[in-house]
Structure 1
Amino acid sequence: MINRISILIIILFQTAVLSAQNHLEMQKEYAESLFAGEKYFDAVTEYKRLMFFDENKIYSAEAGLKIAYCYKSGGKFDDAIAVLSKMKENQQINKTDIEIEIIRLNILRGTYFRAIGLIEKLEREVPEKQSELNYWKGWSYMVADEWQKAADAFGNSAEKGTEILKNLCISVSEEKYSLSFARTISYILPGAGHFYTGYYIEGIISLGWNVLWGYDVVNAIKADRIFDAVMVGNFLWLRFYTGGSQEAVKLAEIENRKIINEAYKYLSIQFEGKQP
């Protein structure tokens, strides 16, 4: 009788364990289906529910990573970083891989100097990852608008696609207009900064206004109309002189943004290598 009771207890226990395991597997499959269907925020809820019922932590590492990827895919980079930061102590996950994913998230959210700081930290801790770290350093510099530095970083990486990225960065660096040069030549010759960036009509107009008001100032001085010369010089000529220089810089920034956007467009459509 006792043996029968013992056997019954064992059977019931095993049934309960199997039932719980089946429940976890069903919960995992449901969360995975939401993730595959790009219903990321619903998937987060289900992955959290999976982790709550997973007392033995069988799926905790995988579910935690998927939650971070859901946040990343949904554009919630801060939340993704917070989740991954908590997971760095999980023994089931490679800490270096987590750190690299955090670097990628920092690149995406535009905190590129934070990304570079983390890269330099990992360079000291895991020098064997230097090639991959240089790759993400290149991406960090791209986001920071430091295209030549990005080219140098890609040149020191053996990751797939680095030669393409290096050449792209060199091309952008060479095509970009110098803001300081546009400002300086506009001070030397009004309108020259506009010509430099290809805005010829605007350059002629800027030069024309400066010649006109400069001519009036000179004539006023010759006629001993000092007050008129001061008023025209301060409120008209100086306005167009400094305004023309500022406009030349803005136009250079606009053209640079076009160049950069074309580079990003190429990367998003045609580049097949890893992206943040």
Structure 2
Amino acid sequence: MTTNGEEPQIENLKLADPEEDVVNPWSVSSSSQEGVDYDKLIKRFGSSKLDQELIERWEKVTGKPAHHLLRRGMFFSHRDVHTILTNFEQGKSFYLYTGRGPSSESMHVGHLIPFIFTKWIQDIFNVPLVIQLTDDEKFLWKDLTVEEATRLAHQNAKDIIAIGFDVEKTFIFSDYTYMGQCPEFYRNISRIQKCVTFNQVKGIFGFGDSDVIGKIAFPAIQAAPSFSTSFPLIFGAAKVPCLIPCAIDQDPYFRMTRDVAPRLGFPKPALLHSTFIPALQGANTKMSASDNNTA
């Protein structure tokens, strides 16, 4: 976080110092038996606390009681949710975007938290939802073939469908499939890639000289669904605001996205951050589908 409380610029984004909790898209750990210090994480990431005042405003705008995951602090941090609520009060809609990196046959309870909450948001606001399955990411990071990553994406899609999203307003896609179906999706990826240097992406995600180039290019792929023109069959050419419910370990992708968005003429995506479900061994780390002993 900057000294004046503003969101850090892309050139200042970086991974945790060694003495801090490790929270990034591929690893979550804490030296404390109590787990991740979320108040410190809010300060480090430059997000805003999801406080009682915002929850009460949410209830006023929707006319519905706050979800228990909000009331109990499972969602604890946000970026620009007040803007989404203001726009909604003015009759301007938005869409939801969340996702899953398919690294196992099925999803565990930790994965379900953002999806359960996302379904509730879709129900009370009656808005479209896009769900990205990053089979390409898991191929690049895990010991998987392209075919196996694709198969796991299909398996995970079944779990996601079972949550009960509105079938008329929900689009679930895998990167490997959609990339070949929608040129505008790839165009937005290229636009984002042109705005972010290797030095910047290395600072945000900690990539090293031995990392394959696919990893370096991937963050733009996760960023692109934040821009509504990536889905021309849903939104056409309209630039619709986006709200992303996700675990806070995914925030580095979207800090990068929020920095790029104004330069490309898009609204910054808003975010709602969830905490982690602790691993079975204790609060030092989160449940992980890649480690069968944690979930």
TM-score (norm 2): 0.24
Quick check: which one's helix share is greater? Answer: 1
Larger radius of gyration: 1
> Using CA pairs below 8 Å that are at least 6 residues apart, which structure has the higher relative contact order?
2
Q: Name the structure with the higher strand share.
A: 2
TM-score, structure 1 normalization: 0.25
